[in-house]
Amino acid sequence: MAKATRKQALGRGLSALLNDPKEEVKSAQDKNADKIVGTIVELDIENIEVNPFQPRTSFNEDALKELASSIKELGVIQPITVRKLSRNQFQLVSGERRFRASKLVGLETIPAYVRIANDQESLEMALVENIQRQDLDPIEIALSYERLINEIELTQEALSERVGKNRSTIANYLRLLKLDPIVQTGMRDGFISMGHGRALVNIDDMQSQLEIYEKIIDQSLSVRQTEAIVREYKNPNDNKEKTAKPNLPSYARAAKNELSTYLDSKVSLRVNKSGKGQMIVPFKNQEDLDRILKLIKRG
């Protein structure tokens, strides 16, 4: 019943415009374009082709079946968007999940917003509209940004304005494309988060990147733990420098060496800026302690 109601929304006038070769609307300037563009019409699914510019490259089959079940019960609540190619022929701009799910349940028609655009405009519309979706993974978003920059020739500043995102956010997404393809796939499949990816992208050596990626998965490392591993990889001497003992004055260094030799034990000595110090004499067991005490008393 829901489908029949929407079918009436097309009306004889629009149906004639879409099918009449003499009154064919090819551009926004053509006669009657205002009657078609932006209007919700019920289109035959067989007259719609998928969008070659679709930024999404994978569709979750279970989620698609759930959507198909919902469409079977309630119909297509949110219309898809198409662009007019020729007489009664259309190309998908956005809404491919709804389009696929509708085909799954055998719908013959689907409600759609009709737009008129050339290939470049269609690409931009598809990419920008899809970027706004909440269910794109970080790599799909990054690829969409890259295509807008390369194929539409947008600068990062212009892209920032177009999609309503900070330039730094866009730059962070684009950097993810420097990750090893295996790591990118892991992010797309949900094994690691964008935070993990942003940490790993700081490692240029792909083999080392993959080794840390495997460690993240094997040990269920958090983003902070991953960042710490990356910092240690990038600056292996940092921790050594932080834990390095302060330089001893020459007199203390000489005393330390003399005591270590005399007591046959690795003596530790610390001296602060004021000249006060501390000496630590380690021992292995009680017998070793007694030995050291005898040497000290003897000395």
pLDDT tens figures, 114-131: 877 665 666 666 677 667
Instruction: Determine the Cα–Cα distance for residues 100 and 94; give it in Å rounded to an integer.
Output: 12
| Per-residue pLDDT, 197 | 95
pLDDT at 223 > cutoff 90: yes
End-to-end CA distance of the chain, in Å? 106
- Output 263-268 pairs: Cβ under 8 A, ≥24 positions apart: 263/292, 263/295, 263/296, 265/292
pLDDT at 238 > cutoff 70: no
pLDDT tens digit sequence for 154-164: 888 888 888 88
| Per-residue pLDDT, 252 | 83
Residue 38 pLDDT class (50, 70, 90 cuts):
low
Residue 17 Cα to chain centre, angstroms: 43
Q: Please tell me the least confidently modeled range out of 16-25, 32-41, 279-288.
A: 16-25
Residue 219's Cβ-count burial label (10 Å; 0-12, 13-18, 19+) is exposed
As a 3-state breakdown, the chain gives helix, strand, coil percent values, each rounded to 5, of 60, 10, 30
pLDDT at 294 > cutoff 70: yes
Q: Please tell me the least confidently modeled range out of 49-58, 151-160, 248-257.
A: 49-58
Residue 225 pLDDT class (50, 70, 90 cuts):
very high
Q: Which fold has domain 2-118?
A: 3.90.1530
| Per-residue pLDDT, 40 | 78
| Per-residue pLDDT, 128 | 72
pLDDT at 9 > cutoff 70: no
Residue 8 pLDDT class (50, 70, 90 cuts):
very low
Instruction: Determine the Cα–Cα distance for residues 91 and 203; give it in Å rounded to an integer.
Output: 42
> Which uninterrupted H or E stretch holds 48?
strand 48-49
Q: Write down the catalytic residue from 46, 66, 73, 96.
A: 96
3-state secondary structure of 143: helix
DSSP 13-38: HHHHHHH-GGG---STTSTTHHHHBT
Residue 5 pLDDT class (50, 70, 90 cuts):
very low
The mean pLDDT of the chain is 79
Residue 91 pLDDT class (50, 70, 90 cuts):
confident
Residue 96 is a catalytic residue: yes
Domain 142-240 carries which CATH code? 1.10.10.2830
Place of tokens 């999404």: 56
pLDDT at 12 > cutoff 90: no
| Per-residue pLDDT, 101 | 92
| Per-residue pLDDT, 30 | 53
- Output 265-271 pairs: Cβ under 8 A, ≥24 positions apart: 265/292, 270/245, 270/246, 271/246
Instruction: Determine the Cα–Cα distance for residues 223 and 195; give it in Å rounded to an integer.
Output: 6
**Residue spans in the chain of domains classed CATH 3.90.1530.30:** 2-118
| Per-residue pLDDT, 188 | 87
Whole-structure pTM value? 0.49
Helix ranges (H only) for 105-200 are: 119-131, 138-151, 156-163, 167-175, 181-188, 194-200
**Residue spans in the chain of domains classed CATH 1.10.10.2830:** 142-240
